[in-house]
Structure 1
Amino acid sequence: MAVAPLSSGSEAGEAKERNGAVPAKRLTKEQLLETHKGHLKKQDLSPNAPRPVKQPILAEAYPASTKSIREVELVPLSALCVETHHRGQGIIVRIASPPFFGAGAVSIVEDEHGNADKLAIYNQGDISILSGVPEGCVVAVKEPYYKYNGSDNDYMICVDHPSDVILLRFTDPIIPEPLRLGSVLKTAEDWKKAGDTAFLEKDFSTAVFCYSESLEIEPSPGVFSKRSSTNLLLGRYDAALTDALASRTNATSDWKAYFNAGRAAYGLCDYPTSIVHLREALSLNPTAANVRKEHDRCLTRLHEAETGAYDFLAMHALLSPTTVHLDRASFTRRTVIRSSPHHGRGLFAAEPIPAGALVFAEKAAFMPNQYDPSRAAAALYALTVRQLLSNPSVASSVLALYPGSDLPLPDLPGGTLIDGIPLVDVFLTEGIRQKNCFSAPLSTLSDTKLTTPATAAAKGLWLHAAAMNHACVPNTLRSFLGDILISRATRDIPAGAELFQAYVPVKPDPAERSALYETAWGFQCGCALCEREGRSPEAARARRRELLAQVERACTRQQPGAGVVVPDSVIRGVERALRLLEEAHEGDVFDEPGVLPRLMLVYPCNWLVGAYKGRKNWRKVARYAKRVVRNFGFSGVPLEEEGEKGWDPRGLFTAGGSEGG
């Protein structure tokens, strides 16, 4: 997916001049349709082109409407003012053209008075009819945003929030008389047959619409069952579960209702609810192989959630460029989310967790299979919006995440049903994505190979992991297998202790990383490393930055590598600069109490490992390799001057072996 281009500065300036005014002149319906036909012809030439995503610009945020269409004042298109959000107002229009697909679906629309304009609907999933409303349908837009479209007399109604637009039933009494078509089909049976036809044609969103029309006329267990099965195919698990239970008749044939209900709950990763329904289905139809298979699969997920017993090697073997979503449950029993003294909420150990043990393993709430870094963020944003629309039961856990402090919030909680549609605010959703998503390689193990592109990473939301606060010297380390995030303890963690992770690789310069945390997440890190580095006088910190720059200049004179022999003179220059930088680290800050990482020393020591490797001086290679580990904060590594007798590397991973690592 691509990000839709933004308006140019000149267009924005022209739009500002027109703010709040009713346009003196608009294009006629005929002019709009003529231009629209030209766009449709271009679209026909590339029907399979990927659709871009219009990601919100948070600086332009405005809240989604929290009103029902029956609570607002309905106004004609001619009353719309440029660059205005028409609070307390709404429009009802009929679609007068096929949709043109760009970042959204653009259609020509007309109101009851014969006024015409363009309507752009964004952020609707492919499974929704609203992603491309058929000609002749009637839609309502709540509190519409009307914008200047970049050329003379050209304007457009923009629907950014997907819950701000409603596809009206043909017989809805709110539709003005001139726009009424009446019921296209007359009986519940007619609508059911139309749904069956759409289903056979794999037009599942239309099938759901037709089944819904049938149920409005005459509720039927059979049609509820059909709609449940169709919603399952669309990934609308909330609706599928409700419909499945509504299709019961208190007969043995209800096994299918419970089967669908179990599959829907499984799709929501609600395995305790799923197993209840699948057991009921199995009791009514004990010979059904498909029910037995789903029942046993759900039992496996429940076992994983309780024990954290995973075959990680087998999971790794399943991964491929097309298989990134693993069928596994999340194991979070050892941890609990509660208020943190650091930043709002945090994650805490519910029991003692030994070093190296699994802290938790979590399946992503949302992670698209998109490893192109230029498209990964847009893909995650689009998937999150569409899942919140499809399954409003997930909204409370997702929208509880921190979105940033400057966004205007809706008056009602996200996911609240208004006019039968869950409230989804796209700016709030994008703020949550930006503050809480992780970049994930296909697998952390594979990512260590030299042939793996360093930039090949998807983006995903892991709700449990997102509750963890940052520390530059964390007590957990994360890794990935597809859409599974795995967290392990880097030291012994007592029950009740807060769990920390490093949000990003930690920069050696505390001023640089502090600026990054403030800009990206709005906090100042208070971990042991940052707190104790902050005790250094500014003059000492400036001296270390100056020496680090000297070391880096010395290192860049010649880079070690395969077949490269670095001259002694260059190595001695780096060693001299390294000694000065080591001396600039005050012992009372970095050594007592407990050894802290000296991150500025890692790069030059690592450079010397490579340089001496090229000269086959293995004693020096070992010397500087140990310094690399020591400078990462592992106090259990003896340096030559401290003696090495009896050193056991396993001590690095005990409670006393590493204050920093």
Structure 2
Amino acid sequence: MAVAVADLKGKVPPRRLPKEELARTHKAHLKKQDLTPDAPRPVKQPIMEEAYPASTRPIRDLDIISLGELRVETHHRGQGIIVKVISPPYIGAGVVSIVEDEFGNADKLAVYNQGDSSILSGVPEGCIVAVKEPYYKHNGAENDYMICVDHPSDVILLRFTDPIIPEPLRLGPLLKSAEDWRTAGDKAFIERDFPTAVFCYTEALEAADEKDKAFRAPICAKRAGTNLILCRYDTAKADALASRTGGLSDWKAYYSAGRAAYGLCDYATSKVHLEEALKINPDGSGVRREYERCLARLREEEHGKYDFAAMLDAVSPQSVHMDNGSFLRATRVAESKHHGRGLFTTRALKAGDIVFVEKATLMPNQYEPARASAALYAMMVRQLCDNPSLAQTVMQLYPGQLPYDQDRHQEQPHIVDGVQVVDVFAVEGIRTKNCFSAPLSTLEDTKPSSPEGRMAKGLWAHASYMNHSCVPNTMRSFIGDMLISRATRDIAEGEEIFQQYVPVRALVDLRNAQFREGWGFECGCALCGGERRSSSAMLEKRKEALQAVEKACNKKQAVKAGKGGVTGIGIVPDATIRQVDKLMRQLEDLHEPDVYGDLMPRLTLIYPSNWLVEAHRGRKNHVKVIKYALKVLRNFGFNVPRGDDVATTTMWEPGQIFTTSPTALMTIHVVAALRRLAGAYDALDQREMAERCAVAAKFGYTMVTGFENDLNALDQ
């Protein structure tokens, strides 16, 4: 009779599949596996409810046990296993191999989250690996179990001569000399098997005489170049500097070190190394070219001056990673009274000013929503493994509530057994709490012709420190992997800056339910704080009134909603317009003066006021267009005149709304409302007011898209 898995938890299974059966089943899987080299590799994303911490102990500090001692559904804390891989790898979401210990016991080993730069992404047959604090789980079928390694740092590829390897598993070195390993590395490099090349060069260095610099320096240079290809920039930089001999050829070492630092966006260090290369080789055109690129990035970091139009021309679905630096000098990270840490200005900023521009810390070129999250997770894990300096930045971010040791992720990341410790559950928490959705460019995304839903996921570490407000003082936009943050109102020196995590919902209870579920907080902004003063009865009345007015608007939809406001014109019957207008006035009366005052946004009124703008525009009633466009702006919280008397609406300055509205909410719909005002004023021969509104709309469009653009793009 089969034993229930629940009854086996914590126990050694009474029976495991024998080695012969494991090998036979594995061989059948190997025949079916897709060996298409260009096929996207599936990703196993963590299930947070099953989270467990990565091992932080060296393998030599653990008690080594046999496969026969593994207990079902158990994380073997304080213990480890050392096994030999006795099968070719089956490669899917992870790498599954058959392994054997020193006593002849066999089992399945599944290794996940290894990057393409790691030889463990396809564990070669014959290798010896150590698994630290292994997790042994039931694999579904009767008597079928598997060692599951989620954290990439929990499995270590051992050198063949490592004394920790038990005698029965020892093969001795596969090659006899450092020269043989070097030759093997060269062969693997020519075959573009870069992880194997790195492994062979490492073995060559381990086998070589430590004092033989003439032999070791070229090997370090080769390994540096290979690691550059693999984007392992920290190791590449260290190898490049280790390849110096004190001779004229050292320019190559400094050149490689400069390129590695550039890959880490450490342009100051890159400049230092490239300058050393130029001292030795002043005529090197490649070095000079890299040096000029580095200087351009440093100027961007210092002054925040960018050629945004050129960046837009350069971005494409095939080229989303911009060659630009990050301008962060106008902001700093500090403790916030709202939620832990936040971003604060280091100088006063005017409405429309650049607050910061940041190159993505990590962003895959994946714009399919169904795949973008998994692609970002996979990139984060693999890049953090490959570049410990990057892990120091990313692992300081907030991961949400983990079911273990809440502060572990914020400790300085450390290297154990030569490997950067990366906790995949903390990484996934950081991804979900800190990533942004980004179009290829915000400018293109505002156009009605832009395809819906084409968003990548990226991590911008500096921007991640910004706290949320439903009425923020900044607005973000994107060009490729560059995030542009602009001030939507004047911001004082030392003031905290805020952003919207997501577009806010009209009703306070619904939007805060979203914040609680997604980020674990209740918003304390001026709008939410004010609306919480409304009674539950009043909140319910507004909800019912909003449903009624939306129903009336949707009953006879005259226009099609677009990204840049409302586009398309239709003729709406007078009776429908009167009904919507009446319902909207009823909804207006449900906004208490002591809560909303003159300037607090009234989000429930935005949809019907926008609807009435387009309805009257379709009937060429320009006076009413002005009236309701002003209501749109007022409902977003902007300081504008009442629109009941056209004569009074020509006595104001539209451009000043961005400096006289402390709690306004800036969106693309504000730009659209200003454009509608410009059109209506122009139709009424109020040309000066039309021009003022057009200028204000263009200014607002700069905030939305990140840089100055032609408003006609909204019509494309």
Q: TM-score, normalised by structure 2?
A: 0.88
Deviating runs (4+, > 4 A) in structure 1?
44-48
- Cα distance in 1 for residues equivalent to 2:353 and 2:36: 52
- Cα distance in 1 for residues equivalent to 2:548 and 2:180: 81
Q: 1:387 aligned to 380, 383, 387, which one?
A: 383
Match of 1:568 in 2: 574
Instruction: Spell out the pairing of 1:634-645 with structure 2 (5 A cutoff).
Output: 634-641=638-645, 643-645=648-650
- Cα distance in 1 for residues equivalent to 2:626 and 2:27: 72
Match of 2:668 in 1: none
Asked whether 1:330 is paired with 2:335, we answer no
Match of 2:633 in 1: 629
Question: What secondary structure is seen at the aligned counterpart in 2 of 1:114?
Answer: coil
Q: Report sequence identity in percent.
A: 60
State the shift of 1:130 in Å: 0.4
- Cα distance in 2 for residues equivalent to 1:117 and 1:29: 7
Instruction: Spell out the pairing of 1:155-554 with structure 2 (5 A cutoff).
Output: 155-218=145-208, 219=210, 220-409=216-405, 413=411, 415-554=413-552
Check the 8 A contact 1:388/1:415 in 2, yes or no: no
Match of 1:7 in 2: none
In structure 1, give the amino acid aligned to 2:574.
Answer: D
State the shift of 1:648 in Å: 1.5
Q: Could you list the per-position Cα deviations for residues 44-67 of structure 1 after superposition, in whole angstroms to 9, with x for gaps in the alignment?
A: 575654321000011111000011
Match of 2:684 in 1: none
Match of 1:619 in 2: 623
In structure 2, give the amino acid aligned to 1:567.
Answer: P
State the shift of 1:637 in Å: 4.8
- Cα distance in 1 for residues equivalent to 2:272 and 2:4: 60
- Cα distance in 2 for residues equivalent to 1:290 and 1:460: 31
- Cα distance in 2 for residues equivalent to 1:63 and 1:49: 31
Question: What secondary structure is seen at the aligned counterpart in 1 of 2:649?
Answer: coil
- Cα distance in 2 for residues equivalent to 1:58 and 1:424: 15
Match of 1:600 in 2: 604
State the shift of 1:563 in Å: 6.0
Check the 8 A contact 1:106/1:119 in 2, yes or no: yes
Check the 8 A contact 2:112/2:149 in 1, yes or no: yes
Asked whether 1:609 is paired with 2:613, we answer yes
State the shift of 1:658 in Å: 4.8
- Cα distance in 2 for residues equivalent to 1:429 and 1:644: 53
Check the 8 A contact 2:51/2:402 in 1, yes or no: no
- Cα distance in 1 for residues equivalent to 2:529 and 2:501: 17
Check the 8 A contact 1:637/1:649 in 2, yes or no: no
Where does structure 1 lack aligned partners over 5 or more consecutive residues? 1-10
State the shift of 1:264 in Å: 0.6
- Cα distance in 2 for residues equivalent to 1:625 and 1:609: 6
Q: Could you list the per-position Cα deviations for residues 98-136 of structure 1 after superposition, in whole angstroms to 9, with x for gaps in the alignment?
A: 111111000111111111111000000111100111101
Q: 1:411 and 1:573, CA in 2 relative to 1: closer, same or farther beyond 3 A?
A: closer
- Cα distance in 1 for residues equivalent to 2:135 and 2:35: 31
State the shift of 1:405 in Å: 2.4
Asked whether 1:139 is paired with 2:129, we answer yes
Match of 2:116 in 1: 126
Match of 1:587 in 2: 593
- Cα distance in 1 for residues equivalent to 2:542 and 2:87: 66
Where does structure 2 lack aligned partners over 5 or more consecutive residues? 211-215, 560-567, 666-716
State the shift of 1:21 in Å: 1.6
Q: 1:18 and 1:45, CA in 2 relative to 1: closer, same or farther beyond 3 A?
A: same
State the shift of 1:438 in Å: 0.3
Count the aligned residue pairs.
647
In structure 2, give the amino acid aligned to 1:652.
Answer: I
Q: 1:503 and 1:14, CA in 2 relative to 1: closer, same or farther beyond 3 A?
A: farther
Check the 8 A contact 1:638/1:647 in 2, yes or no: no
Q: Could you list the per-position Cα deviations for residues 453-473 of structure 1 after superposition, in whole angstroms to 9, with x for gaps in the alignment?
A: 221100000011000000000
- Cα distance in 2 for residues equivalent to 1:475 and 1:398: 25
Q: 1:646 aligned to 651, 656, 667, which one?
A: 651
State the shift of 1:19 in Å: 1.1
Which stretch has the larger CA shift, 487-496 or 393-402?
393-402
- Cα distance in 1 for residues equivalent to 2:627 and 2:288: 60
Q: 1:48 and 1:358, CA in 2 relative to 1: closer, same or farther beyond 3 A?
A: closer
State the shift of 1:394 in Å: 1.3
Question: What secondary structure is seen at the aligned counterpart in 2 of 1:93?
Answer: strand
- Cα distance in 2 for residues equivalent to 1:366 and 1:127: 17
Q: 2:25 aligned to 28, 35, 42, which one?
A: 35
Q: 1:411 and 1:618, CA in 2 relative to 1: closer, same or farther beyond 3 A?
A: closer
In structure 2, give the amino acid aligned to 1:557.
Answer: K
State the shift of 1:612 in Å: 2.1
Match of 1:86 in 2: 76
- Cα distance in 1 for residues equivalent to 2:256 and 2:77: 41
Check the 8 A contact 2:569/2:617 in 1, yes or no: no
- Cα distance in 2 for residues equivalent to 1:396 and 1:16: 39
Check the 8 A contact 2:402/2:426 in 1, yes or no: no
Match of 1:21 in 2: 11
Q: 1:70 and 1:34, CA in 2 relative to 1: closer, same or farther beyond 3 A?
A: same
State the shift of 1:553 in Å: 1.4
- Cα distance in 1 for residues equivalent to 2:235 and 2:189: 17
Q: Could you list the per-position Cα deviations for residues 508-545 of structure 1 after superposition, in whole angstroms to 9, with x for gaps in the alignment?
A: 00000011111110111111101111111222111111
- Cα distance in 2 for residues equivalent to 1:625 and 1:644: 11
Q: 1:595 and 1:406, CA in 2 relative to 1: closer, same or farther beyond 3 A?
A: same
Check the 8 A contact 1:635/1:659 in 2, yes or no: no
Q: 1:404 and 1:382, CA in 2 relative to 1: closer, same or farther beyond 3 A?
A: same
Question: What secondary structure is seen at the aligned counterpart in 1 of 2:80?
Answer: strand
Q: 1:364 and 1:144, CA in 2 relative to 1: closer, same or farther beyond 3 A?
A: same
- Cα distance in 2 for residues equivalent to 1:213 and 1:361: 43
- Cα distance in 2 for residues equivalent to 1:217 and 1:101: 31
State the shift of 1:308 in Å: 0.2
Check the 8 A contact 1:636/1:657 in 2, yes or no: no
Which stretch has the larger CA shift, 271-280 or 48-57?
48-57
Check the 8 A contact 2:438/2:457 in 1, yes or no: yes
State the shift of 1:36 in Å: 0.8
In structure 2, give the amino acid aligned to 1:626.
Answer: L
- Cα distance in 2 for residues equivalent to 1:296 and 1:515: 50
- Cα distance in 1 for residues equivalent to 2:105 and 2:614: 73
State the shift of 1:85 in Å: 0.3
- Cα distance in 2 for residues equivalent to 1:270 and 1:492: 31
Q: Could you list the per-position Cα deviations for residues 7-40 of structure 1 after superposition, in whole angstroms to 9, with x for gaps in the alignment?
A: xxxx9x9543321121111111110111111111
Check the 8 A contact 1:473/1:502 in 2, yes or no: yes
In structure 2, give the amino acid aligned to 1:350.
Answer: T
In structure 1, give the amino acid aligned to 2:204.
Answer: S
State the shift of 1:646 in Å: 2.0
State the shift of 1:407 in Å: 3.6
